[in-house]
């Protein structure tokens, strides 16, 4: 297939940065990933459950660092999405979060562990909380097969980004563990079925290997799961040991996903999934722009309407990884 010189690239990206959440977005609807990652559309579907989860993260991570419940409560309340849930009688109200965070801080599940510390690229030593890390997919890129764009790179590198909730060190055992906080309104007794084969944390093992400078044959992941409620909040700790085989399984799945993304990128065609147009009981945030089948039309409309421009309400979190690891997926 001969290369064609094109004057307009609807995507115009210099790198692709994906994550666990964007992989889930791709699986739910490839067109949504195109809007988010390739067309730089700033809209996104949020929910009160997800926003409350982020607020509880802010509060509990402050508690792990300072051991001060008042400071943890302030952090949680400052991050709480009051515009989404102002009624104290609604589910996920601030009052429910307050009671849940208090229960969480008093649970004592991690009393035998202390926070690890990490030296940032700047030289600053920080607690291993919300650790930004990235995996560079070595030997894999998005190549513009069949297209040559003026003043555009022909090879687009791919990175897998993550934020690790907490890396902790056993004061008695001397082992390092990964801790992830999850919030839910579901029965906690069913959580084992939700998390035993969850693969979100598996790449964190590669980051920890890089930090420690040695291979890890097995690693303990602890899921701290909280049931959000004002009267009867509940906290349970679920522990799973993962091996190198589990990490290899995750890498194979990632390879399949990025290969499919690459194929769609070269075709300039990310199909929509009509079953994903309703999200959190609301129309998809990309609904209006998704009416157009031609990607060039979608890209130009997004730019004309300024939907690729960030403001205070839709500012994306900039990724500045403390650790970057190379992973050769195709080896």
E strands within the chain? 4-6, 16-18, 113-115, 117-119, 125-127, 129-143, 147-149, 155-170, 176-184, 218-227, 234-243, 278-279, 282-283, 323-328
Q: What pLDDT is attached to residue 1?
A: 46
Backbone angles phi, psi at 169, to 5 degrees: -125, 130
For the segment 169-192, the average pLDDT, to the nearest whole number, is 94
E strands within 185-217? none
Q: What pLDDT is attached to residue 102?
A: 97
**Residue 324 neighbours by CB distance under 10 Å:** 15
Calpha distance 136→158 (Å, rounded): 6
The predicted-structure confidence for 217-258, as pLDDT tens digits, reads as follows 899 999 999 999 999 999 999 999 999 999 999 999 999 999
The lowest-confidence range among 93-107, 136-150, 187-201, 307-321 is 307-321
Q: Whole-model pTM?
A: 0.91
Go through 12-21 and write b for each residue having 16 or more CB atoms within 10 A of its CB, e for each that does not: ebeebebbbe
3-class SS at 313? coil
> What is the rounded end-to-end Cα distance, in angstroms, of the chain?
26
For the record, the structure tokens of 323 come out as 């650790």
H/E run at residue 37: none
The predicted-structure confidence for 79-131, as pLDDT tens digits, reads as follows 999 887 777 778 889 999 999 999 999 999 999 999 999 999 999 999 999 99
Calpha distance 9→42 (Å, rounded): 19
| Exposed / middle / buried, residue 319 (Cβ in 10 Å: 0-12, 13-18, 19+) | middle
Integer angstrom CA distances of residue 214 from 203, 205, 211, 217, 269: 15, 11, 8, 10, 42
The lowest-confidence range among 72-76, 96-100, 139-143 is 139-143
3-class SS at 44? coil
The predicted-structure confidence for 279-292, as pLDDT tens digits, reads as follows 767 899 999 999 99
């Amino acid at each position: 297939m001969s290369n064609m010189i094109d004057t307009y690239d609807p995507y115009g990206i210099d790198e692709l940065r994906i994550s666990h959440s964007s992989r889930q977005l791709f699986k739910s609807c490839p067109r949504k990933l195109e809007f988010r990652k390739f067309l730089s559309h700033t809209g996104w579907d949020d929910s009160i459950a997800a926003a409350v989860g982020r607020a509880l993260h802010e509060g509990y991570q402050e508690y792990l660092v300072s051991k001060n419940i008042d400071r943890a409560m302030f952090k949680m309340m400052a991050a709480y999405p009051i515009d989404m849930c102002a009624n104290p009688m609604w589910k996920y109200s601030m009052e429910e979060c307050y009671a849940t965070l208090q229960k969480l801080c008093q649970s004592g599940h991690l009393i035998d562990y202390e926070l690890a510390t990490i030296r940032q690229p700047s030289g600053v030593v920080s607690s291993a909380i919300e650790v930004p890390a990235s995996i560079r997919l070595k030997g894999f890129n998005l190549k513009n097969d069949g297209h040559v764009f003026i003043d555009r790179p022909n090879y687009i590198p791919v990175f897998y980004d993550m934020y690790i909730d907490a890396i902790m060190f056993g004061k008695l055992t001397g082992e390092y563990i990964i801790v992830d906080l999850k919030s839910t309104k579901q029965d906690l007794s069913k959580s084992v079925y939700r998390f035993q084969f969850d693969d979100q944390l598996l790449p964190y093992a590669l980051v920890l290997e890089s930090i420690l400078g040695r291979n890890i044959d097995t690693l303990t992941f602890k899921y701290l799961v909280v049931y959000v409620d004002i009267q009867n909040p509940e906290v349970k700790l679920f522990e799973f040991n993962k091996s190198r085989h589990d990490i290899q399984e995750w890498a194979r799945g990632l390879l399949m996903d990025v290969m499919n993304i690459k194929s769609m990128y070269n075709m300039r065609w990310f199909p929509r999934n009509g079953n994903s147009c309703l999200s959190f009981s609301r129309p998809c945030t990309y609904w209006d722009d998704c009416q157009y089948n031609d990607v060039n039309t979608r890209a130009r409309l997004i730019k004309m309407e300024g939907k690729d421009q960030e403001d205070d309400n839709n500012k994306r979190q900039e990724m500045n990884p403390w650790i970057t690891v190379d992973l050769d997926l195709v080896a």
